[in-house]
Structure 1
Amino acid sequence: MSTLPHGYRTVVVPPERRDEFRAVDDLAFAGWVDPEIAEILPFPVPEDRMVAVEGPDGGLAAVHGSYPFEMPVPGGTVACSGLTWVGVRPDQRRRGLLRSMITTHVERSLERGEPVSALFAAEAAIYGRFGYGSASDSVNLTLPRGAALRPVAGADALDVRLERLGKEHEDLAEELHRRAGAGRPGWMPRPTAALRARLVGDPPAWRQGFEPMLIVTVRDGDDVRAAAAFSRKEGWGEGGPEYKVKVRWAFALDPAATHRLWSFLLDLDLTSTVETPMLPVDDALLHLLVDPRPIQRRTGDNVWVRVLDLPAALQGRRYAAPLDVVLDVSDALVPANAGRWRVAVGADGAATVTRTEADADVRLDVRELGALYLGGRSATALASAGLVTGAPDALARVTAAFTSPLAPVCPWVF
């Protein structure tokens, strides 16, 4: 159970207090929601998932919410509670409110049958304390106009169509988003209408001097094979036009469509640079570049994962190699996860996870288990940092079994 200072209590926030919920988050993040944005885009946190700590005066002192994801994992999907909108009023800090909210989030997620939680960390130093492990990275690129791509058969036969982005593109965008990420761990579909609306929402307050959003689609006849939402910002230098192109999202279903899409975006008139959205570290664009050296890259942490129900989580994914190993897991927040677990993986990649008294082969905290969960981290590499311990052969077997053929990533921040 979560503990709170005297006079504080946990409450599920009713719809009529939504503005107060949002106001606490605005204070925590030094933000302010333009009424125009609130008018255009629906509030994204589901009503039954808005939770807060109420102070002695009856006002909200801290808030958090979650999204009901079906998170892609190697070989399938698992129910995942996407932690979001976590904020404590600046005048209510250092009272244990965050720890209480995380405990409440874990309890409620387990009650809903969600064996894992995931988040984007506003501050990377915070969430490891609560067992979240950095499970994936993403890369943002800034490319010069005209960056050459290696040829791909069939790309020149595809057509492009340019339009202003609008509500009518929402279903197309979500469908491409879902299909483009098939098989990639962490690639969260948007489960609610409010979240899907943000794929195509374009409030003027978001533009920061850029034009209204455009959408380019790549087509094979009537079949849409790729699309990207982007906008341009006027700029002039001594040598002439230096417009910037900022791509909000880009999805493609095959190599030819990928090539045609980025060839278009990299050769727009008047422009000098193109900024990509978050891409997986193994994205096709990185492999297509003829000369990757002039490209500016910014790599950062992406999704963080917290294992809540260890046997359900580990049995909810598939593995790349057979495995029979005993994991000794520590978990200060969820004692039911702590202890020794035998993970037995057969030739079909399915795992059976059971309690055992056998000697441990590998020892790790639940934080590192979360880091390994999507298949983008190496147990051997974590052991080289002293974060996981075990014999080299056991670590190598865990690494081989847990790995994913596609690098995990979520292409949007939740």
Structure 2
Amino acid sequence: MTSGAEVLRAEDWEQWYSLLELAFGGVPEAPEERELYQRLTEPERSLAVWDDTEVVGTTGAFTFRVSVPGGRLAAAAGVTMVGVAPTHRRRGILTTMMRRQLDDVRARGEALAVLTASEPEIYGRFGYGIATMKVSAEIDTAQVRLTVPEGTDGVVLRRADPREALKVCEELYARQVAGRPGMLARAPGWEEQAVLDPPSRRDGGSPLQCVLAERDGEVVGYTRYRTRPAWTAGGPDGTVAVQDLEALGPAVYAALLRYLCGLDLMRTVGLANRPVDDAWQYLVSDVRRCVPRLRDELQVRLVDVGGALRQRSYRVPLDVVLEVSDAFCPWNEGRWRLTADAGGAACERTGAEPDLALSVRELGAAYLGGVPLSGLAAAGRVRELRPGTLARTSAAFGSDLAPWLPHGF
């Protein structure tokens, strides 16, 4: 007989985390990786389901702040470490954990929950909507040229030890967060994730490398990457695997990308996680040879519809009544009047006739400004009840920059 979802005791962390490793394929993590996540785990926000003395279900949450349209940093529960023992699947354990977790998030006063999913279809039934996408690419440096903007040659690059440069890189990252929805304001300790470098993470490549970009003695960008040398009968065929690339301005970005594309003995520059509007695709001479691929990333769940919609701003003035359905969190059900503009928003319950009807899942998908409500309506997932309101509401929810999650959790 399994228990309900119970708050994790710190002394049970090892067993709890071992079940998570089992659920994700059974390969133990490197000791330094495991140690980092033990430090980052918030036991009071972590849940376990037990069968007698065995942990058979895990989930947790990190206390995050995520950038939303308008530049505000909104409190959000970063849902993570979700696993169920293979012997206990299809018994309602996941639903039990999601139920308890969302109740706890609401009790904490957090209006948002966010997650990344190993399988994207799982979490829609709990009200999560896919809100950000990421682009990966493989730039063939033998076939693709870069056209760089004026000022690129004035950027000075220097190699640095990734750990020694961590503080200055973290300061530059923090300057970027408010400007792009979906980015996480990293709490102390999370910077260590970026320089975690066990051999198991290298996939046959070099130790992590770092290059800083400077202008007038100030660090204005950085990249962290690994090289994977390889040879064919025709010569060198190595790959540069880019982990991070942050830059203050187009010339700095171009200087770093040019450096990566010019490394000796390397044929391909692999970009594993970039925003869908990232600059590389407008600098290359042939985007087809870069093999761009699109994939879902961050999922967003509005735990408090009114509170969440009040925390962001909107691109055009808006006065709309939304009829929201939310079977899993019924406190969100009903009609909400959203009045908003670029300066902020008010969102309160109302008895007025609705203009649009949608579920909380669609609101989550559109929340960061990357998924248009008009596109969801074309798929039948949003219904326009008063003619003319869909286009304006969709425009208001948009974002000038595509939302993006720079790293997982």
What is the TM-score of this pair, normalised by structure 1? 0.94
Q: Give the alignment partner of residue 332 of structure 1, picking from 327, 332, 351.
A: 327
| 1:380–1:392 contact (8 Å) kept in structure 2 | no
Mean alpha-carbon deviation: is it higher for 119-128 or for 181-190? 181-190
2:152 is aligned to 155
| Correspondence for 1:284 among 256, 279, 303 | 279
- Cα distance change of structure 1 residues 275 and 379 upon mapping to structure 2, 3 Å threshold: same
Q: Deviations over 1:335-365 (max 9, x none)?
A: 110001111124x432111111111110000
- 1:157-179 per-residue CA deviation (whole Å, 9 max, x = no partner) reads 111112342x2222222222222
Cα-to-partner distance string for 1:184-209 (whole Å, 9 max, x where unaligned): 1101122241x221111111222121
Structure 2 CA distance for partners of 1:40 and 1:333, relative to 1, 3 Å: closer
Separation in structure 2 between the aligned mates of residue 90 and residue 29 of structure 1, nearest angstrom: 10
| Root-mean-square deviation (Å) | 1.5
Provide, for residues 291-334 of structure 1, a one-character-per-residue CA deviation record: whole Å limited to 9, x for no partner. 32211111100111000001100001101111111100000011
Residue 24 of structure 2 is aligned to residue 52 of structure 1: no
Task: Give the conservation status (yes or no) of the 8 Å contact 1:249–1:277.
Answer: no
Per the alignment, residue 131 of structure 1 pairs with: 127
Residue 182 of structure 2 corresponds to 186
In 1, Cα distance between equivalents of 2:34 and 2:23:
22
Task: Tell me what 1:95 maps to.
Answer: 91
Is the 2:181–2:404 Cα contact (8 Å) retained in structure 1?
Answer: yes
Counterpart amino acid of residue 294 in structure 1? R
> Which amino acid in 1 is paired with 2:364?
G
Instruction: Choose from 92, 104, 110 the match for 1:114.
Output: 110
Where does residue 369 of structure 2 map in the other structure?
375
* Matches of 1:289 and 1:178, distance apart in 2: 28
> Is the contact made by 1:320 and 1:349 (CA closer than 8 Å) also made in structure 2?
no
For residue 80 of structure 1, what is the aligned residue in structure 2?
76
- Report the equivalent of 2:230: 235
Task: State the one-letter code of the partner of 2:96.
Answer: S
1:340-359 to structure 2, matched below 5 A, reads 340-346=335-341, 348-359=342-353
Q: Indicate whether 1:226 and 2:215 are aligned.
A: no
Displacement, 1:149? 2.1
Q: Which runs of 5+ in 2 are unaligned?
A: none
Partner Cα distance (2:158, 2:63) in 1 = 34
Letter in structure 2 aligned against 1:119: L
Q: Are the structure 2 counterparts of residues 32 and 343 from structure 1 closer, same or farther at C-alpha, using a change threshold of 3 Å?
A: same
- Once residues 404 and 27 of structure 2 are traced to their aligned partners in structure 1, the CA distance between those partners, rounded to angstroms, is 29
In structure 1, what residue type is equivalent to 2:195? V
Check the 8 A contact 1:328/1:339 in 2, yes or no.
Answer: yes
- Distance between the aligned counterparts of 2:137 and 2:314, measured in 1? 31
Identity of aligned residues (%): 38
1:258 corresponds in structure 2 to: 253
Structure 2: how far apart are the matches of 1:42 and 1:333? 30
Task: Give me the whole-angstrom Cα distance separating, in 2, the residues matched to 1:302 and 1:275.
Answer: 18
Give the distance between the partners of 2:33 and 2:69, measured in 1 at CA: 37
Distance in 2 (alpha carbons) for counterparts of 1:39 and 1:278: 23
Q: Is the 8 A contact 1:234 1:243 kept in 2?
A: yes
Structure 1 Cα separation of the partners of residues 112 and 29 of structure 2: 33
For these two proteins, the number of residue pairs brought into alignment is: 405
Contact preservation (8 Å) 1:143, 1:274: yes
Q: Say which of 138, 144, 147 aligns to 2:140.
A: 144
1:384 aligns with 2:378: yes
1:3 counterpart residue number: none
Residue 26 (str. 1) matches residue 42 (str. 2): no
* Residue type at the aligned position of 2:85: R
1:38 positional shift: 4.1
- Stretches (4+) displaced over 4 A: none
Q: Deviations over 1:127-169 (max 9, x none)?
A: 001100011111011101253222312110111112342x222
- Aligned pair in 2 of structure 1 residues 223, 31: CA closer, same or farther (>3 Å)? farther
Does structure 2 conserve the Cα–Cα contact (< 8 Å) formed by 1:266 and 1:274?
Answer: yes
Distance 1:233 1:279 in 2: 20
Aligned partners of 1:246 and 1:40: how far apart in 2?
A: 25
SS at match of 1:168: coil
* Counterpart residue number, 1:104: 100
2:171 partner letter? E
* SS of equivalent residue, structure 2 residue 226: strand
Q: TM-score, normalised by structure 2?
A: 0.95
Give the Cα–Cα distance (whole angstroms) in 1 for the partners of residues 248 and 257 of structure 2: 13
Shift of 1:39: 6.6
User: CA 1:302 to 1:7, structure 2 compared with 1: closer, same or farther past 3 Å?
Assistant: closer
Instruction: Name the counterpart of 2:408.
Output: 413
For 2:302, the equivalent position in structure 1 comes to 307
Partner deviation per Cα, 1:98-134 (whole Å, 9 max, x = no partner): 0111111111111111100011111111100110001
**C-alpha contact (below 8 Å) 1:246/1:274 kept by paired residues:** yes
Give the counterpart letter for 2:145 in structure 1: A
Q: What is the Cα deviation at residue 372 of structure 1? A: 0.8
**1:164–1:212: 8 Å Cα contact kept in structure 2?**
no
| Contact map agreement 2:30 2:198 (CA 8 A) in 1 | no
